[in-house]
Amino acid sequence: MQSNYPHPIIAKEGWPFLAGAAVLSVVATSGWGWWSIPFWLVTLFILQFFRDPPRSLPVDADAVVSPADGRIVVVGKARDPYLDRDALKISVFMNVFNVHSNRSPVDGEVRKTWYFGGRFFNAALDKASLENERNALWIHTDSGAEVTCVQVAGLIARRILCYVQNKDRLTRGQRFGFIRFGSRVDVYLPLDARPQAAVGDKVFAGETILARLPVKT
């Protein structure tokens, strides 16, 4: 295992929200005393939502790690609409209590990105993959495999953040984006990838192995 921790333990996306909530809580405390408790509860919620703990990454060359914290809601054959191919699809659903930083599932180069505006169905539903707002990355791995990683907005999530573009280099477990307040991430893999996770499993971004890619010799 190796460590990947290039950022503070609170995600940078959360600092404006956390600072604003903390200031309001302090002001409420000075003026209202015990009536300020709801403000502090909101501040604590924001603190837990934007937490971004360090992770220990598997070093196996064939490992595909989870791009998000949450629970597996899909494992099976599906059509990859971005690369127009049959693929193994694995989907991770994030609720509002999960860490929402998104990390690269593999080592590789970003060949193309897509952004689609859309609706905001419950991200646990299958139709969310094709109808909700989403941002997709096509990653060409060092071993020659093609991986598609898709950030999907949810019922509450209204903002997808992605910090990479075409030709950027990603390493497994590297932080590449964030989704605010409940969502999902879909991963499309070659059909000969071997799933290591099952529906209902709890997974952690950058740490849990979702599947293994065939090793080419």
Catalytic residues: 183
| HSE (side-chain half, CA atoms, 13 Å) at 52 | 25
What is the C-alpha to C-alpha distance for residues 64 and 205, in angstroms, rounded to an integer? Answer: 11
What is the C-alpha to C-alpha distance for residues 37 and 31, in angstroms, rounded to an integer? Answer: 12
Identity of residue 67: P
Q: Could you write out the DSSP letters of every residue in 183-207?
A: EEEEEEE-TT-EE---TT-EE-TTT
List, in sequence order, every beta strand (DSSP E) within 5-133. Answer: 55-57, 63-65, 70-80, 85-94, 101-103, 108-116
Cα separation values, 211 from 63, 197, 214, Å: 6, 7, 10
